[in-house]
Amino acid sequence: MNVIFFGPPAAGKGTQAKIIQQQYGLQQLSTGDMLREEIAAGTELGKKAKHLMDQGKLVPDKVVIDMIAKRLDSPECAKGVIFDGFPRTVAQAEALDALLAERGKKIDIVMELDVDQDKIIERMKKRAAEEGRSDDNVEALKIRLQQYNDYSAKVLPYYRAQGAVPKINGNKPVEGVTAQITDILAGKVSAPLQVSSGA
Ligand code: AMP
């Protein structure tokens, strides 16, 4: 099963992906985490990406598509993948569909984590204190939210054209969000909890 967790920065996608990875054996693939690993390892790619990431801007599509392509055939992805923070543009979504199709696979579920703006700012500040990410500051977050609205929000209509995109209430505490996700994954919710209302 291949799942996409879609939502704005600091919505809780990574937190939920890690929990679902444990429970379902699906592999979390976070392009943000992969880029931070490149930065930590001091690679050329990491150096180029850091400049954009610190400003809250997206890195080029090709960079993240290549990173995902490299990981898809690894054994830990055999049971399926939770895509976290990818795709963020329509070009990335199209490339992902093509990569999966080449492997006889597809995206099975796209879930939208819906979180209020004040909650996003609150979570970003909490994460800044805990993890010290260099893009977790109010200035960069502003740009990240803008990039989300300019590019990433356009990815939702792309997937809605392929089927319903259930909306998860991401304002709830962690367990409450997980419960909504597991109900959908377990097929307990035959119809999506709340279908997003078109583009
Ligand atoms: P994240 O950890 O998902 O919040 O990503 C942190 C930053 O990494 C983003 O603000 C972008 O600069 C970059 N990034 C992560 N994933 C992508 C992606 N799919 N496309 C473009 N840039 C990305």
DSSP string, 80-146: -EEEES---SHHHHHHHHHHHHHTT----EEEEEE--HHHHHHHHHHHHHHH--TT-SHHHHHHHHH
13 part of the active site: yes
133 part of the active site: yes
Catalytic: which of 48, 57, 127, 154? 127
32 lines ligand 1 (CB under 6 A): yes
Between residues 196 and 76, the one the model is more confident about: 76
160 part of the active site: no
Please report the pLDDT score of residue 164 as a whole number.
Answer: 86
* Ligand 1 atom closest to the CA of 92, numbered from 1: 19
Hey, what are 53's tokens?
Answer: 């990431």
Residue 92 has pLDDT above 60, yes or no: yes
Residue 197 has pLDDT above 80, yes or no: no
Please report the pLDDT score of residue 189 as a whole number.
Answer: 63
88 part of the active site: yes
**Per-residue model confidence as pLDDT tens digits over 103-132:** 999 999 999 999 999 999 999 999 999 999
Please report the pLDDT score of residue 198 as a whole number.
Answer: 45
**Per-residue model confidence as pLDDT tens digits over 132-185:** 999 999 999 999 999 999 999 999 999 999 988 999 999 999 999 999 999 999
* Ligand 1 atom closest to the CA of 85, numbered from 1: 3
Mean pLDDT score of the chain, rounded to an integer?
Answer: 93
For residues 59, 61, 64, 67, the Cα torsion angle rounded to the nearest 10 degrees is -140
Please report the pLDDT score of residue 187 as a whole number.
Answer: 80
Hey, what are 56's tokens?
Answer: 């809250």
Please report the pLDDT score of residue 123 as a whole number.
Answer: 92
71 part of the active site: no
Catalytic: which of 18, 48, 50, 133? 133
56 lines ligand 1 (CB under 6 A): yes
Query: Candidates 6, 28, 57, 58: which one to mutate for ligand 1, based on the most atoms within 8 Å of Cβ?
Result: 58
Please enumerate in sequence order all residues whose Cβ is within 8 A of that of 108, keeping only pairs 6 or more positions apart, or say none. 1, 2, 3, 80
Please report the pLDDT score of residue 188 as a whole number.
Answer: 65
Please report the pLDDT score of residue 47 as a whole number.
Answer: 97
Distance between CA atoms of residues 10 and 122, nearest Å: 9
110 lines ligand 1 (CB under 6 A): no
40 CA to centre of own chain: 21
